[in-house]
Structure 1
């Protein structure tokens, strides 16, 4: 079979789609499958001019919103770039973004298109304060799920909780398949070590949705109780200035290191002790599986895909969203008890290897792809 993996922007950022699809492609190619990757370069802006029309709703009722207008222009750009660059046909297209899926089905109407919904753009925008809940932008973006259901041949997503979320916006949610993200174990090299001071690490975009303000407040409580730690924050984003200022105000700036963006944080992670990310929402939370494969103890919030990865007290600790005190107590428990920390880390690593291995993803995708073999 000749299969196209259609991404949105190039896989340059760590986490999620970027940390999986290129490895999936490489593994399939090594097994003799004909497969290639396609994406829209970030330099392509404002090139597309063709009209956009959806069959399940009229997007023009939302025109005038900067978010909606940018989405539609990006759709037009994806059409322009696809027509310019793709000259061959495919037996199957697997898209990893709604724009990629809808454009591919528009330009290749006779080709089966599978779509994996990896995340919720509207929830991210709401949590990051970019759009209002219940506003026209949310209505537009959630209508896209119904358009996908009507157009593509098969919908997949990455967690059961996210499938439940999408269910409110489609006609037949039972047709949505679930294939969690998978990771190549060879990328992760756990390193036995002893840190005199417990080292906490978080890897994410620095935006409100990730709850890092809650993490800083929890760490301030740890310091007030005399618990030693160093907090390492890998990533960048709009919230960095505010977070740095908050660390100063909370008197934990000396204990907190802001690294900025890092291409391969998994090479850095094995030398830490605890991975913590108090997200306010996560469709899957790939970085938790990556941290588990590095043998770090996990602390996360009881939401979405995080709660599917972590069984509280068995392979990590879960706390409520926006509860800095509960988060500080969970971190304190791991700081004070290295043996318990080690036990949770090993359990997390074993579950990640068993449940989120790249081999499992390849087997599941093969079964889906084979269903479309002519």
Structure 2
């Protein structure tokens, strides 16, 4: 069976799906399957000219909106690039982004299409202050879920909470299969170490949706209580300068290290003690599973896929979003009690190995592909 994995971002980009798919490809190839990756290079801009039509809604009512126009142009570019590069048929196409999915079905209507919806782009834009809830951009992006349902032969998503989020916008949410992301234990593994001062780490894009302002206020409270720590922030983004200024304002300059973008943070992560990320929304939160496999104690917010990964007090700690005081209390527990921290980390690792292993993903995807294979 020859399968095309259609991405939007190139696979070398950071992030759960982009970094995971090449490892899925490698596993399938070792099993004797044929599998290729396809994505739109960043250099391809404003090349496509073909008109875009959707089956379930008229996108032209949003014409003139800057964000929607850019989205439609990217769709056209994906069509142009796909026509340029793909010259052979595939048995199945597995798309991991709405644009990739809809373009592939447009150009290869007879090829079975499975689509994994990994995240809510519109929710992130709202939380990051880029668009308004109920505005034209939001309505356009929400309409794409119905279009995906109409065009895809099979829909997948990464968490039960995200399936619930999508449910009001499609006709048959019960048909969506949940396959959580999976991670290679050889890539994410613990390393024995001892730190004199508890080392906290977070890995994410520096955008409002990740709640790092809440984290800094919680760390300031932790410091006021007299608990030493170092917070390592790996990632870059538009609010980096704002966060650095907040760190100075909160007297955290000597307690925080901003690293910027790092291609392979998993090589760095095992040397720390606690992973913390107080996201305001998260469809899955791949980095929590990655950190768990590295034997870090987990502290996250009770939202989306994070709450499905963490059982509070058992394999990590959950706090409400937008609550620095609750986050400080959770951090105090893991900073001041190494034995408790170890207990959480061990339980987190055991669950991650059992539930979020790459082998489990391969097994589940094989069943989907075999079921979809044309006779």
TM-score (norm 1): 0.99
Q: CA deviation at 1:162?
A: 0.2
CA apart distance, 1:12:
2.2
Distance 1:255 1:342 in 2: 23
Residue of structure 1 in register with 2:201 after alignment? 201
- Aligned position for 1:289: 289
CA RMSD of aligned residues (A): 0.6
Deviation at 1:14, TM superposition (A): 2.5
What residue in structure 2 maps to residue 57 of structure 1?
57
Instruction: Establish whether residue 5 from structure 1 lines up as the match of residue 5 from structure 2.
Output: yes
d(CA) in 1 for partners of 2:189, 2:169 = 41
In the alignment, which residue of structure 2 is the partner of 1:210? Answer: 210
Tell me the residue number matched to 2:306: 306
Query: Matched residue of 1:3: which SS?
Result: strand
**Partner residue, 2:225:** 225
**What residue is the counterpart of 2:367 in the other structure?**
367
Q: 2-side partners of 1:126 and 1:305: how far apart?
A: 18
* Superposed displacement of residue 191, structure 1: 1.2
- Structure 1 residue 18 corresponds to structure 2 residue 18: yes
State the Cα deviation string for residues 282-327 of structure 1 (Å, max 9, x = none). Answer: 0000000000000000000000000000000000000000100000
User: What is residue 280 of structure 2 aligned with on the other side?
Assistant: 280
SS in 1 for 2:3: strand
Query: Structure 1: how far apart are the matches of 2:200 and 2:149?
Result: 41
What pairs with 1:1-374 in structure 2 (closer than 5 Å)?
1-373=1-373, 374=375
1:221-246 deviations in Å (ceiling 9; x for gaps) = 01111110000000000010100000
Q: SS at 1:352's partner residue?
A: helix
**Alignment coverage as a number of residue pairs:** 374
Cα shift readout 1:146-173 (whole Å, capped 9, x = no counterpart):
0000011011000000000000100110
Superposed CA offset, 1:170-221 (max 9, x none): 0110011100000010002311221110000000000000000000000000
The answer as to whether partners of 2:145 and 2:169 remain within 8 angstroms in 1 is: yes
CA distance in 2 between counterparts of 1:129 and 1:254 reads: 30
**CA drift at 1:66:** 1.2
Looking at structure 1, the residues matched to 293 and 203 of structure 2 have their Cα atoms a distance apart, in angstroms, of 14
3-state SS in 2 of match to 1:246: helix
Asked if the contact 2:9/2:18 (under 8 Å) is kept, the reply is no
Do 1:235 and 1:261's aligned partners in 2 also have CA atoms closer than 8 Å? yes
Secondary structure of 1:155 counterpart: strand
Runs of at least 5 residues in structure 2 that lack an aligned partner in the other structure: none
Tell me the CA shift for residue 15 of structure 1. Answer: 2.5
CA distance in 1, matches of 2:359, 2:336: 36
SS at match of 1:202: strand
**Counterparts of 2:278 and 2:14 in 1: how far apart (Å)?**
18
Shift of 1:16: 1.2
User: SS of the residue aligned with 1:290?
Assistant: helix
Where does structure 1 differ by over 2 angstroms across 4 or more consecutive aligned residues? 12-15
Q: Aligned partners of 1:19, 1:86: CA distance in 2, in Å?
A: 22
**Structure 1 stretches lacking a partner, 5+ long:** none
CA distance in 2, matches of 1:285, 1:136: 27
**Secondary structure of 2:103's match?**
helix
Residue 307 of structure 2 aligns to a residue whose secondary structure is helix
CA shift for structure 1 position 29: 0.5
CA–CA distance in 2 between the matches of 1:243 and 1:146?
37
Question: Do the aligned partners of 1:19 and 1:183 also contact (CA within 8 Å) in 2?
Answer: no
Residues 44-63 of structure 1: CA deviation (Å, up to 9, x unaligned) = 00000000000100001111
Q: TM-score, normalised by structure 2?
A: 0.99
